[in-house]
Amino acid sequence: MNMKADYYSTISGWIIPFSRAMEAFDIDASKAFRTFDIDANAIKAPEVRIGVDKFSDLLIYCNKQSGRHDFSIQVAKNFHPGMFHALGYAMMSSSCLKDALARIVQYKRVVSNSCKLSLTEQGEDLIFEMIMFFYESTGRNVMSLQSSETFLATVVQILRELVGFELNPRKVTLSFPQPSYDTSYLNQFFNCEIEFNTDKTVMYFDLTEFNVVLLGSNPLITQGNEKMLEDFLSRIDRHDLIYVIKNKIHACLPLGAPTQMEIAGQMGMSLRNLQRKLQEQGTSYKEILEQTRKKLTMDYIQQRHLSLSEIGYLVGFSTVGNFNRAFKRWTNTTPGEYRHQYFD
């Protein structure tokens, strides 16, 4: 079963900065939201989710209405902490900038399930990466270039507000083709080199700047907001069974593919109950396991530092032969041929 477009969603809080940016450009916000079937009143219910494609289309619409290409930056500049629910306030009370970024990585699901985030250190760099998701039926990015720009710029806007000065990345790389239009607005906002057509979407920061203690640091406030975030995520997850199962499969795969009985046990459910709930959603555990393995494989195979045998291990195959047979079932070619054809 392929995920529907509305499976990938984001928090309704984005309505706030979108509305403010449209007002600044004299765009009729009510008309724009109606055009893309976005309920502006959803802002009153923080747990309401809105399909990411709707906001991606809205960004394109607003760029066209304004006669510019930088509406993504205008949205970011109108950020308010409440936009990210308790996550925004938890970031503001973090001990340092690195801690604030780690928090958004940890609680990214509060904002959206349309990509994954990672935060790593390499030499003098702190590396903030967006790991893109793709629609399995078409291979299209779940997040558009415009929505990716909006999110990255919003993160930088948050960091600047936390320190009170113009903090900039060292470099930003985007795994999207270079657009035909002028993208100097990105250089102007991020104030650094912008590179397109890269393997990864990443912001590189100076690590030394991110270990400085923040003036607004408050562990008690952070702890209270994290409790709210955990409760929030648990409510989301109760209504997102497939996502939860995929996450559990992902965690188990390097030790071998988990059985449906094992996953049911981890979720505190009987095997029969899990089967029934999946049947109600038009899928099965076998289909979810297959989708998860395929999706991870297609992500891993782009990472040239991973050998094909390592990839097979990471997605739960005990032998190279079993991995090769599964890959050929998915793509009608071998892993080696596929990597050579698309990534050499």
Q: Which CATH number fits the domain that encloses residue 257?
A: 1.10.10.60
Residue 240: pLDDT band (50, 70, 90) is low
Q: How far is CA 70 from the centre of its chain?
A: 21
Is residue 159 located within the same domain as residue 256? no
Residue 9: pLDDT band (50, 70, 90) is confident
Please state the rounded mean pLDDT for residues 160-186. Answer: 94
What is the dihedral angle through the alpha carbons of 290, 249, 118, 129, rounded to the nearest 10 degrees?
Answer: 10
The Cα 173–Cα 188 span in angstroms is 15
What is the SS3 assignment for 325? helix
Is residue 82 located within the same domain as residue 164? yes
Is residue 81 located within the same domain as residue 215? yes
Is residue 331 located within the same domain as residue 194? no
Is residue 111 located within the same domain as residue 151? yes
The Cα 126–Cα 301 span in angstroms is 25
If we measure between CA atoms, which residue out of 131, 103, 129, 322 comes closest to residue 230? 103
Q: Where is the domain boundary, 162, 197, 231?
A: 231
Is residue 224 located within the same domain as residue 254? no
Q: 20: domain range?
A: 5-231
Query: In the prediction, which pLDDT does 340 show?
Result: 82
Long-range pairs, 135-139, Cβ under 8 A, ≥24: 135/2, 135/3, 135/5, 136/2, 136/3, 136/291, 136/294, 136/295, 137/2
Is residue 105 located within the same domain as residue 245? no
Please state the rounded mean pLDDT for residues 248-258. Answer: 89
Strand 115-122 and strand 171-173: pairing?
A: unpaired
What is the SS3 assignment for 106? helix
140: number of Cβ within 10 Å? 12
Q: Which residue type occupies 97?
A: L
Residue 315, CA distances (Å) to 141, 239, 256, 258 in order:
22, 26, 8, 11
Q: Where is the domain boundary, 184, 210, 231?
A: 231
If we measure between CA atoms, which residue out of 174, 147, 177 comes closest to residue 51? 147
For residue range 299-324, what is the model confidence (pLDDT) as tens digits?
A: 788 777 889 999 999 999 989 999 99
Is residue 257 located within the same domain as residue 203? no
The Cα 151–Cα 112 span in angstroms is 10
| Number of compact structural domains in the chain | 2
CATH number of residue 187's parent domain? 3.90.1520
Please state the rounded mean pLDDT for residues 194-222. Answer: 90
Mean pLDDT score of the chain: 88
Q: Please give the model's pTM, rounded to 2 decimal places.
A: 0.69
Token pair 């109950």 is found at 273
